[in-house]
Amino acid sequence: MKPSPFDYVRATNLTEALALLERHGEQAQILAGGQTLIATLNMRLSAPDWLIDITRIPGLSGITLTETHLVIGALTTHREIERSALVAQYAPLLGQAAPHIAHAAIRNSGTIGGSIAFADPAAEWPACCVALDARFVIQALSGERRVSARTFFRGLYDTDRAAHEIITAIEIPRERAPRRSVFMELARRHGDYAIVGVALLGRVDQGRLSDVAIGYVGAGATPLLAQGAMAALEGQAADADVLARAKAALAQDLDPSGDLYNSPATKRHLAAVLLERAVKQLLA
Partner 1 sequence: MTARLPCPIPAHADLAPGADPTVVTRGHIGSPDPRPNARRLLQGRGTYIDDLRVPRLAHVVFLRSPHAHARILKIDSSTASRAPGVLGVFDGPAIAAICKPWVGVLAHLKGIKSAEQYPLAIERACWQGEPVVAIVAETRAQAEDARELIEVQWEVLPAITDMDASLAGDPVLHPELGDNICFERSVDTGGIDEVFAQADVVVEETFQFGRHTGVCPEGRSILADYNAAEHSLLVHHSTQAPHMIHDVLARHFDIPEAQVRVLCHDVGGAYGIKVHVYPDEICTVATSILLRRPVKFVADRMESFVSDIHAREHKATVRLAARHDGTILGIDLRDLTAIGPYSMYPRTSGIEGNQVVNLTGGPYRHQHYRAHMQAVFTNKNVTCQYRAVGHPIAVAITEGIVDLAAERLGIDPAEFRRRNLIPDDAYPYAFPSGVRFEQLSHQQCLDRLLELMDYEHLRADQAAARARGCYRGIGLAAMIEVTNPSAAFYGVGGARISSQDGATVRLEPTGALTVLCSVTEQGQGTETVFAQIAADVLGVSMERVRVITGDTAATPYGGGTWGSRGAGIGGEAVLQSARALRAQVLDAAAAILSCDKAQLDIAQDAVIDRLSGQTRLSLAELGRICYYRPDTLPAGFQSELVATRHYVPRDYAFAFTNGIQASWVEVDIETGFVQLLGHWCVEDCGTVINPLLVDEQIRGGVVQGLGAALLEECCYDDQGQMLNAHLGDYLVPMALEMPDIVCAHVQTPTRTSELGAKGAGEAGTAGAPAAVMNAINDALRPLAARVTAQPFTPERILAALGRV
- Binding residues for partner 1, rule: CB under 8 A, are 1-5, 39, 43-44, 186, 188-193, 195, 260-263, 265-266, 269-270, 273
Q: What are phi and psi of 44, to 5 degrees?
A: 60, 25
CB of 78 to partner 1, least distance (A): 17
Q: Determine whether 198 is exposed, middle or buried from the number of CB atoms within 10 Å of its CB (0-12, 13-18, 19+).
A: buried
Amino acid at 244: A
Alpha carbon distance 63, 80 (integer Å)? 9
Alpha carbon distance 18, 40 (integer Å)? 23
Nearer of residues 5 and 58 to partner 1, judged by Cβ: 5
CB of 262 to partner 1, least distance (A): 5
CB of 274 to partner 1, least distance (A): 8
Nearer of residues 18 and 123 to partner 1, judged by Cβ: 123
Nearer of residues 43 and 163 to partner 1, judged by Cβ: 43
CB of 123 to partner 1, least distance (A): 13
Nearer of residues 150 and 268 to partner 1, judged by Cβ: 268
Nearer of residues 5 and 143 to partner 1, judged by Cβ: 5
Cβ neighbours of residue 281 closer than 8 Å, sequence gap 6 or more: 182, 184
Which of these, 163, 147, 170, 219, lies nearest to 72 by C-alpha position? 170
Run of H or E including 173? strand 166-173
CB of 114 to partner 1, least distance (A): 17
Residue 234, helix vs strand vs coil = coil
